[in-house]
């Protein structure tokens, strides 16, 4: 049941990206071009996403446990380190250069655009490299009791 819910949520997310036009890299690049052809629509999409997420977290975290898991998974570390700063910086540079981030890139695969067909494999290689270079303590949890996350509830 959890896999079906994840597919449905991913489908809604992808449909939202298509409807909002955020699978078009030019939308992102125009948002970043404040001195030229600036387009603020991405800011409104982000604001809407933040509002929905904030409401969702408020309701979901009030529950004793998630619907499809025995407990909540929340990052255990609150420290700001080099990895926390460098990772998002690399992500932002890639987003600014290509106009794509993972969600819109995957939603755009059906279009078969050359840029997306080059971006997605490079993204997957980057994700694999990040996991490969991570020390065992930094690797994401693969089980509900893994070291990268702290459990709440259940």
Query: End-to-end distance of the chain based on CA atoms, in angstroms?
Result: 19
pLDDT at residue 55 in the model: 93
pLDDT for residue 51: 95
Kindly indicate the confidence band of residue 150, based on its pLDDT and cuts at 50, 70 and 90: very low
Q: Is residue 140 part of a domain?
A: no
pLDDT tops 90 at residue 79: no
Express as a percent the part of the chain with pLDDT over 90: 5
Do residues 154 and 70 touch, judged by C-beta distance below 8 A? yes
Q: Enumerate long-range contacts of 99-105, CB under 8 Å, 24 or more apart.
A: 99/24, 99/25, 99/26, 99/27, 99/28, 99/29, 100/25, 100/28, 101/28, 103/13, 103/14, 103/17, 104/17, 104/22, 104/23, 104/25, 104/28
**What is the count of structural domains for the chain?**
1
Summarize the confidence of residues 21-49 as an average pLDDT: 87
Domain extent at residue 8: 2-135+145-152
Q: Is the pTM of this model over 0.85?
A: no
Q: 145 or 19, which is more confident?
A: 19
**Is residue 123 within 8 Å of residue 102, measured between CB atoms?**
yes
Flag whether pLDDT at 148 surpasses 60.
no
**Of residues 145 and 42, which shows the higher confidence score?**
42
Instruction: Quick: pLDDT tens for 91-143.
Output: 888 888 888 888 888 888 877 878 888 889 988 998 888 888 776 666 665 54
CA 28 to mean position of chain CA atoms: 15
**Residues in CB range of 19: below 8 A, 6 or more apart:** none
| Model pLDDT, residue 143 | 46
The per-residue pLDDT of the chain, averaged, comes to: 81
State the Cα–Cα distance between residues 8 and 146, nearest whole angstrom.
Answer: 26
Residue 41 lies in a domain: yes
Asked if residue 29 is part of any domain, the answer here is yes
50: pLDDT strictly greater than 90: yes
Element (H, E) at 92: helix 82-98
């Amino acid at each position: 049941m959890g896999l079906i819910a994840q597919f449905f949520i991913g489908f809604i997310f992808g449909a939202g990206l298509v409807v909002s036009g955020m699978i078009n890299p030019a939308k992102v690049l125009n948002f970043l071009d404040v001195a030229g052809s600036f387009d603020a629509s991405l800011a409104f999409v982000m604001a809407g996403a933040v509002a929905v997420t904030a409401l969702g977290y408020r309701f979901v975290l009030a529950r004793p446990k998630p619907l499809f898991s025995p407990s909540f998974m929340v990052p255990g570390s609150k420290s700001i380190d080099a990895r926390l700063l460098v990772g998002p910086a690399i992500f932002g540079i890639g987003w600014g250069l290509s106009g794509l981030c993972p969600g819109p890139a995957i939603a755009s695969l059906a279009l078969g655009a050359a840029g997306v067909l080059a971006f997605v494999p490079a993204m997957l290689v980057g994700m694999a490299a990040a996991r490969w270079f991570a020390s065992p303590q930094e690797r994401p949890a693969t089980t509900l009791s893994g070291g990268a996350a702290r459990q709440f509830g259940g």
